Chain A
Amino acid sequence: MTAVTSRREPSPAADLTAPRRKRRLTSIDVVKRVLGYMLIALLIVFCVVPFAWVVLSAVDANAGPNVQAPSLSLDNFVHFFTDSGTPRLLVNSLVIGVGATALNLVLGLAGGYALARFEFRGRRLFMFGILLVRVVPAPATIVALYLIMVKLELTNTLHGLILVEAVLQLPITLWLLKGTVSAVPIELEEAAWLDGSTRIQAIRRVVLPLVGPGLGAAAMLTFMGVWGDFLTPLVMLQSQELYPLSIGLFRAFSEHNQVDWGLLAASSVVYMAPPAILYVFVRKHLLRSSLGGALKG
């Protein structure tokens, strides 16, 4: 696109560190920059404009299905937290999200430790297997999963959904925590053993404090995955009082005749807030997790 940075210095290394030299832009440079900024502006408009309705309607007491100037008010949020049905959605989402994340981390940390610290037959096969499993599209196995859940009498229950969601996110967590534990030098644990700690004590005192960041990343990724899931709760839950936000919003939207647009928008804002906030913290891990966890980003 451009030939802008002044590259007079013979050594590229010096060039990288030296502050960019002020140089008069040629008219071609100016045109390039203007075009570049226009493209960027178009991209931003494309990415952000669809959110206009959600954000504006959430603070509009007379919200409709279209973008309009809002009559700034927090009525919709008050409704969301005081209505008969909507607080339930939020509570369910939180119970499912937090429960599944906790279960996922316990299983993932124990498994990740075993994968990192022990060499056993089938370890590589297992790691590759769970990597390959990640490519299986959820819609392709959801039917059989549903029937298995029916046989285990786990459909239409929150604990059943928590269990399934925790396991569906487990391959990423195992990969992530296996890598995190491997990065903790074994010598530290050995020192603890010599000091008389048992293996479990050594894990608690030495490993656990050091894998904090990896554990945190795994927790946030799992929570975001579970929080945003639509298909699994759609299939597994039938009772309205068990619905999480995702299904509640879908049902509310599908009732074409009597949609409370303001409430819907406010619910959306509540629903998208946690992942948007968590995202700031997990940015650098997201690439690895998106598929496989095997990418060297």
Chain B
Amino acid sequence: MTTIAATASAAAGPTGQASPKRRRRRTWPVVLLLLGPAALLIVVFILAPAVYGAYLSLTNTQLTGFAARDPQFVGVDNYTYLLSNSEFLASLGRTGEFVLYSAIIGQTVLGMTAAVLLARPWVRGKGLVGAAILMPMVVPEVVASLAWASVLSNNSAGTLNRLTGLFGADATDWLQVVPLASVVVVNIWRGIAFAMIMFQAALEDVPGELIEAARMDGATALQIFRFVTLPLIRGPVFLYLLLTTISTIGAFGLVYFLTQGGPGGRTTISAIYIYERALQFSQIGIGSAASMILLALVLVLGLVYVRLAKVEV
């Protein structure tokens, strides 16, 4: 149908009397005028890059040098190269580890802990606790990275080294010795708040009567959480896992700022691999093919998300 959405009363209104055909003719110009610019720009700057990237991934385009003049169509060469390239496969593996440890395990466990604790009626100063946990999410990526650069600093006066020094450990250059674990911790730190907010919203919907009934029946707090609360918030938790997985696959700034992919490529997650290949080694074709593989992985997850979210438009 045409014109005014979602109002039954529109039929009684002044526009309701016009014939559907006339209304349609009047609707399209207005819609194009209002939505057209936004739609066009989204197509040019969001959709076109994805499509153009798919094309580029089938060529040997380079930013500079010989192939920059005259890029050739190379079919799926870039893909076969990547899928047999240990460096790229390792970057995918690192992305998987990064997502698993930081998002799926770390953020979820700590976010749930924070949400459950803050739901306790006896906790004082909830506002302040919440604000403290939210700080890491609110500040810009670059500030977060800079803050952690001082924590992970290699000299003996670095914050973490001072802490481990209390237990008698020697100063460690964390970003050199355990680079991936370091950026995983940083990413957990940044993501606790989002997990907490999601889980708090979910926990609010759990009816208190059910918890009460379980308690009457003599269930321990842990049993209540495991057998009553968790099944009830399974949906939101799953949705959160999907969301955090998708966004963590695209993580770039935090890791790039702290390690630039090093040392020796040990923190080169896929996003950094793409950036290096395409914009530093100027191999646009290979970088684009890597992008497409990453994009395919995320789009599958995204479709699941859109289906599960059951949004109403």
Q: Is the CB of A53 within 8 A of B151?
A: yes
Q: Count the A residues whose beta carbon is within 8 Å of the partner chain — how many?
A: 108
Min CB gap A270→B, angstroms: 10
Q: Which of A2, A124, A253, A291 contacts B313 (CB 8 A)?
A: A124
Hey, what's the 0/1 contact readout for B184-217 against A, CB within 8 Å counting as 1? 0000010010100110010000001100100100
Which residues of chain A have C-beta atoms less than 8 A from B208's C-beta?
12, 16
Scan residues 216-235 of chain B and give those whose CB is less than 8 A from a CB of chain A: 221
Among B138, B201, B306: residue with most chain A CB under 10 A: B138
Inter-subunit contact B135/A51 (CB<8 Å): yes
Interface string of A261-297 (1 = CB under 8 A from B): 0001100100110011001000000110011101101
Chain B residues with Cβ below 8 Å from A116 are 5
Residues of A within 8 A of B34 (CB): 110-111, 113-114
Contacts of B250 in A (CB 8 A): 136-140
Tell me, rounded to whole Å, the shortest Cβ–Cβ distance linking B91 to chain A.
11
Instruction: Name the prevailing secondary structure of the B interface residues.
Output: helix
Interchain CB contact under 8 A, A139 and B153: no
Nearest CB in chain B: distance from A243 CB, A: 12
Interface assignment of B17: CB less than 8 Å from any CB of chain A: no
Please, how many residues of chain B have a CB less than 8 angstroms from a CB on the other chain? 113
CB-CB contacts of A124-167 with B at 8 A, as 1s and 0s?
A: 10111011110111111111111110000000000000011011
**For residue A205, which residues in chain B have a CB less than 8 angstroms away from its CB?**
none
A148–B45 contact, CB under 8 A?
yes
Is A74 part of the binding interface, using a Cβ–Cβ cutoff of 8 Å?
Answer: no
Known A-B contacts A44-B129, A147-B52; the reply to A66 vs B150 at CB < 8 A is yes
- Are B45 and A168 in contact (CB-based, < 8 A)? yes
Assembled-state Cα–Cα distance A37/B153 (Å): 30
A117 vs B4: C-alpha distance in the bound complex, in angstroms?
Answer: 5
Contact B295 A138 (CB under 8 A): no
CB of B164 closer than 8 Å to a CB of A: no
* A residues near B153, Cβ cutoff 8 Å: 65-66
Which 7 A/B pairs are nearest by Cβ-Cβ distance?
Answer: A137-B250, A135-B302, A53-B150, A139-B271, A111-B38, A144-B53, A228-B140
Subset of 18 A-B contacts with CB under 8 Å: A2-B120, A12-B212, A51-B147, A65-B149, A65-B155, A65-B158, A67-B157, A115-B35, A118-B2, A135-B302, A144-B52, A170-B38, A228-B140, A228-B141, A230-B140, A235-B275, A290-B194, A292-B243
Measured CB to CB, the residues of B under 8 A from A are 1-7, 9-10, 13-15, 27-28, 30-31, 33-35, 37-39, 41-42, 44-50, 52-53, 56, 110, 113-114, 116-117, 120-123, 129, 132-136, 138-144, 146-151, 153, 155, 157-159, 162, 189, 192, 194, 197-198, 201, 208-209, 212, 215, 221, 239, 243, 246-247, 249-250, 252-253, 256-257, 270-272, 274-275, 278-279, 284, 287-288, 291-292, 294-295, 298-299, 301-303, 305-306, 309, 311, 313
